[in-house]
């Protein structure tokens, strides 16, 4: 009835706790016959090692942590779900578990990090959704605790930590070039909040694209949203009121793009014919909208997998081959920017 421990197996077999531990641990210095006996008794008694005790003694948890605000990774935001999927895959391969700590919206995120990391609950953490000069990264570096970052610092700031990020500057650049190639030249942009690190890259990519096409940049063509569909809708309405000559809008994520699409359609435009909409993320919903959404795709699941692999290497004390990895995104052209896609 009471939990079966090394001690109880020791008592049952007549061997010491040490020997039982070594036998089960597969050490060489235990007689083959005694190991057989011990293994069998352990089996019969249904022994399961107490992982917490093992963690305490060995100072290893075989667990990695992901800390997230509780309102994220939802259908409003597939990003976390996909990242978790990739991480989970890699973790399963390496026999690690994933500790997911959600903190309430108002709470200080740093507290969660201090608790989990300082509390020795994980061997490493994955930091996602980076801010400009992210304090979480500073904290982890000061502790010299293994971590990897999904994302990176804002443009111009140092990236002296292991990270993987999509080259979203290039992604938006490709999007602009494509939209220009379709004949649209008055292009608006809906950006994420300014404290997110990647916002600067998306703006830079936009300017790159315009410059390449020889189009002037106008401040009033750019507006900030908060990544939700609703905010995309509002932003597009504001943008159109402010600059009615617009014939295209690029949003920094698909959700805002879908909101923008709705706003634009309400204004009587025929998206894909007289107006272009471009997104970023390639969320599943974008395939099924009408018109389907042209977007920039980043392989989030794969990024999650590679991040985890990278973290495992760091935990094991190896130096990962790529300490900062920029992934080239791909442009997925669909009907919202392209006549040819419109009638299948």
Partner DNA sequence: GTTGACACCCAAAACGTTTTCAGTTATAAA
Partner DNA sequence: TTTATAACTGAAAACGTTTTGGGTGTCAAC
> Are 271 and 264 spatial neighbours (Cβ–Cβ below 8 Å)?
yes
45 lies in the site for DNA, by CB under 7 A: no
93 lies in the site for a second copy, by CB under 8 A: yes
143 lies in the site for DNA, by CB under 7 A: no
Say if residue 141 is preceded by a cis peptide, omega within 30 of 0.
Answer: no
Burial 118-130 (b: 16+ CB within 10 A, else e): eeeebbbbbbbbb
181 lies in the site for a second copy, by CB under 8 A: no
116 lies in the site for a second copy, by CB under 8 A: yes
Closest CA to 22 of 123, 31, 14: 31
Q: Give every CB contact of residue 121 below 8 A, 6+ residues apart in sequence.
A: 61, 63, 65, 99, 115
Side-chain half-sphere exposure of 117, counting CA atoms within 13 A:
23
Which residues in 51-110 contact DNA (CB under 7 A)? 53-54, 56-59
135 lies in the site for a second copy, by CB under 8 A: no
73 lies in the site for a second copy, by CB under 8 A: yes
What stretch of H or E contains 237?
helix 229-242
* Cα→Cα distances 287→98, 205, 281, 333, Å: 31, 24, 12, 10
- Residues 210-249, one symbol each (x = binds a second copy by CB under 8 A, - = not), give ----------------------------------------
Tell the smallest beta-carbon distance from residue 146 to DNA (Å): 17
Q: Residues in the site for a second copy, rule: CB under 8 A?
A: 3, 46, 48-53, 55-56, 61, 63, 68, 70-71, 73-75, 78, 81-82, 84-85, 88-89, 91-93, 97-104, 107, 114-116, 118-121, 258, 283-290, 301
Q: Residues in the site for DNA, rule: CB under 7 A?
A: 3, 5-7, 14-19, 21-22, 24-25, 29-32, 34, 47, 49-50, 53-54, 56-59
């Amino acid at each position: 009835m009471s939990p079966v421990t090394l001690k109880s197996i020791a008592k049952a077999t007549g061997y010491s706790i040490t020997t039982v531990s070594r036998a089960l641990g597969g050490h060489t210095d235990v007689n083959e016959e005694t190991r057989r006996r011990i293994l069998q008794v352990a089996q019969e008694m249904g022994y399961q090692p107490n992982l917490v005790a093992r963690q305490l003694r060995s100072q290893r948890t075989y667990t990695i942590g992901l800390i997230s605000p509780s309102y994220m990774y939802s259908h409003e935001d597939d990003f976390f779900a996909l990242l978790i999927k990739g991480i989970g895959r890699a973790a399963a391969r390496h026999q690690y578990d994933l500790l997911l700590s959600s903190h309430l919206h108002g709470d200080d995120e740093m507290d969660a990090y201090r608790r989990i990391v300082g509390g020795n609950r994980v061997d490493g953490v994955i930091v996602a959704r980076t801010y400009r000069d992210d304090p979480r990264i500073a904290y982890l570096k000061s502790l010299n605790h293994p971590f990897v970052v999904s994302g990176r610092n804002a443009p111009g700031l140092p990236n002296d930590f292991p990270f993987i990020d999509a080259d979203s500057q290039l992604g938006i650049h490709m999007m602009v070039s494509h939209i220009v190639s379709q004949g649209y030249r008055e292009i608006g942009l809906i950006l994420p909040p300014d404290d997110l690190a990647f916002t600067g890259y998306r703006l830079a990519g936009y300017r790159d694209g315009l410059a390449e096409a020889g189009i002037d940049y106008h401040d009033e063509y750019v507006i900030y949203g908060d990544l939700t569909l609703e905010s995309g809708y509002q932003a597009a309405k504001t943008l159109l009121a402010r600059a009615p000559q617009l014939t295209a809008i690029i949003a920094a994520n698909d959700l805002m793009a879908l909101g923008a699409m709705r706003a634009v359609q309400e204004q009587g435009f025929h998206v894909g014919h007289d107006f272009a909409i471009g997104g970023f993320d390639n969320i599943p919903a974008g395939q099924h909208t009408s018109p389907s959404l042209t977007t920039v795709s980043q392989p989030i699941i794969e990024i999650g997998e590679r991040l985890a692999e990278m973290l495992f290497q760091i935990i094991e004390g190896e130096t990962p081959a790529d300490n900062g990895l920029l992934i080239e995104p791909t442009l997925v052209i669909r009907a919202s920017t392209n006549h040819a896609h419109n009638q299948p």
